[in-house]
Amino acid sequence: MCPIDNSSKDQYQCSSSSSDASESYERSSTPISSIASEGELSQKELEAPDINNQDEIQLPTPFVPPSLCQPTTTELKSRARELPEGLGLPSVPKEDACKVVDPQDVGTPDGWIPRDSRLVRLTGKHPFNSEAKLKDLYAQGFITPSNLFFVRNHGPVPKVSEEMASDWTVRIHGLCTNPVSLTLADLRTKFRVVTTPVTLVCAGNRRKEQNVVQKSLGFSWGAAGVSTALFTGIWLSDLLEYVRPMKGAKHVIFEGCDQLPNGPYGTSQLLSWARDKRKGMMLAWAMNGLPLEPDHGFPLRLVVPSQIGGRSVKWLTRIELSDTESQHYLHFNDNKVLPMPVGPDRARGETGWWHDPRYIIRELNVNSAIACPDHDEILDTSNKSPEETFIMKGYAYAGGGRRITRVEVTLNEGHTWNLAEIQYPEDLYRTVAYSDSVYGTLDLTESDQCFCWSFWSFEVPIATLKKCKSIAVRSMDESLALQPRDMYWNATGMMNNWWFRICIHQLEGGKLQFEHPTSKFMKTSLTSCSLLTVCAVAGTQPGGWMQRVKDEGRDPSMPDFSVKNELSEKVVEKPTPAPISMTKPGNSRKVTLKDLKAHATAEHPWFVVHGEVYDATNYLDEHPGGPDSITLMSGEDATEDFMAIHSSDARKRLAEYHIGTLEEDLIPNKENLKEESSTASFLSPKNWKQVVLQNIKNISKDCKIYRFGLHRPDQELGLSIGQHIYVRMRRKLQRAELVEELVQRAYTPLWNLGDRGFVDVLVKIYYPNEQYPLGGRMTLGFSELRAGDTVELKGPIGQFTWLGDGKALLNGKEKDVRKIGMVCGGSGITPILQVLRGIFHDATDHETSVWVLDFNRHLDDILCRDELDRLAEEYGSRFGLQYSLTGKTIPEGWEYSTGRVNDEMLRTYLPSPSIDGIVCLCGTQQMVQALKASLTRLGWDGDSQVVVF
- Residues marked as catalytic: 202, 334-335
Bond preceding residue 796 cis, omega within 30 of 0: yes
Q: How far is CA 768 from the centre of its chain?
A: 13
C-alpha to C-alpha distances, 173 to 277, 294, 303, 533, 888, nearest whole angstrom: 20, 26, 20, 54, 18
Q: Show Cβ contacts of residue 480 under 8 Å, excluding neighbours closer than 6 positions.
A: none
Give helix 829-840 / helix 865-874 axis angle, nearest 10°: 30
Alpha carbon dihedral 917, 923, 928, 934, in 10-degree steps, equals: -60
Residue 364's DSSP bridge partners are: none
Residue 697's DSSP bridge partners are: 705
Q: Show Cβ contacts of residue 720 under 8 Å, excluding neighbours closer than 6 positions.
A: 796, 798, 801, 802
The enclosing H or E element of 212 equals helix 207-213
Looking at residue 478, its amino acid is: E
Q: How far apart are CA 338 and CA 493, in angstroms?
A: 9
Q: How far apart are CA 707 and CA 268, in angstroms?
A: 46
Question: Which class for 825: exposed (0-12), middle (13-18), buried (19 or more C-beta within 10 A)?
Answer: buried
Handedness of CA 922, 923, 925, 928 (dihedral sign): negative
**Three-state SS string across 500-537, please?**
EEEEEEECHHHEEEEECCCCCCCCCCCCCCCEECCCCC
Q: How far apart are CA 203 and CA 312, in angstroms?
A: 12
* Residue 291 half-sphere exposure toward CB, CA atoms < 13 A: 29
Residue 866's DSSP bridge partners are: none
CB 757 within 8 A of CB 715: yes
Closest CA to 10 of 156, 151, 112: 112
Hey, is 795 helix, strand or coil? strand
C-alpha to C-alpha distances, 447 to 195, 277, 279, 440, 442, nearest whole angstrom: 13, 10, 11, 17, 11
CB 661 within 8 A of CB 613: yes
Q: Show Cβ contacts of residue 578 under 8 Å, excluding neighbours closer than 6 positions.
A: none
How many angstroms separate the first and last alpha carbons of the chain? 35
The enclosing H or E element of 348 equals helix 344-349
φ, ψ of residue 365 to 5 degrees: the values are -95, 170
Radius of gyration of the chain (CA): 32
Q: How far apart are CA 482 and CA 461, in angstroms?
A: 26
Question: Could you count the other beta carbons within 10 Å of the beta carbon of residue 185?
Answer: 14
Q: How far apart are CA 135 and CA 879, in angstroms?
A: 65
Q: How far apart are CA 704 and CA 700, in angstroms?
A: 7
* Residue 582 half-sphere exposure toward CB, CA atoms < 13 A: 20
Looking at residue 718, its amino acid is: G
CB 122 within 8 A of CB 129: yes
* Residue 926 half-sphere exposure toward CB, CA atoms < 13 A: 16
In degrees, rounded to 5, the angle at the alpha carbon of residue 888 between the alpha carbons of residues 180 and 315 is 60
CB 601 within 8 A of CB 615: no
